[in-house]
Amino acid sequence: MLPLCIADGIAVVPWSPLARGRLTRAREDTSSTAHAAADEVWKALCAKAQEADRMVVGRVGEIAEPRGILRAQAALAWPLHKKA
């Protein structure tokens, strides 16, 4: 779909680029929040998907922290630097 959108000049809007807030802080920081307790999507994910999610959250932190930027800034930079 993305190559077609690029070729035809169609804008693409990423769905939940901050992953419902999960990319804005370390996973261990969010486990005790009211939002985390009510996050049915996270609860429904299988263990394998949750581990992949944790890896992405950790990688965002590895990118943001040495640069002195917020995790949200690092996460949003990814889709903003894509062609589509």
Joined tokens for residue 51? 């581990």
**pLDDT tens-digit profile of 16-42?**
889 888 889 886 655 556 766 677 776
Tell me the one-letter amino acid at 15. Answer: W
Number of neighbouring beta carbons within 10 Å of residue 52: 12
In a domain, 76, yes or no: yes
- pLDDT number for residue 29: 59
**pLDDT tops 80 at residue 78:** yes
In a domain, 7, yes or no: no
Question: How many angstroms separate the CA atoms of 74 and 54, rounded?
Answer: 16
In a domain, 2, yes or no: no
Say which residue, 15 or 46, is predicted with more confidence.
15
Question: 66 pLDDT band (50/70/90 cuts)?
Answer: very high
Number of domains in the chain: 1
In a domain, 6, yes or no: no
In a domain, 33, yes or no: yes
In a domain, 8, yes or no: no
Average pLDDT estimate for 7-14: 90
Q: Which residues constitute the domain of residue 56?
A: 14-80
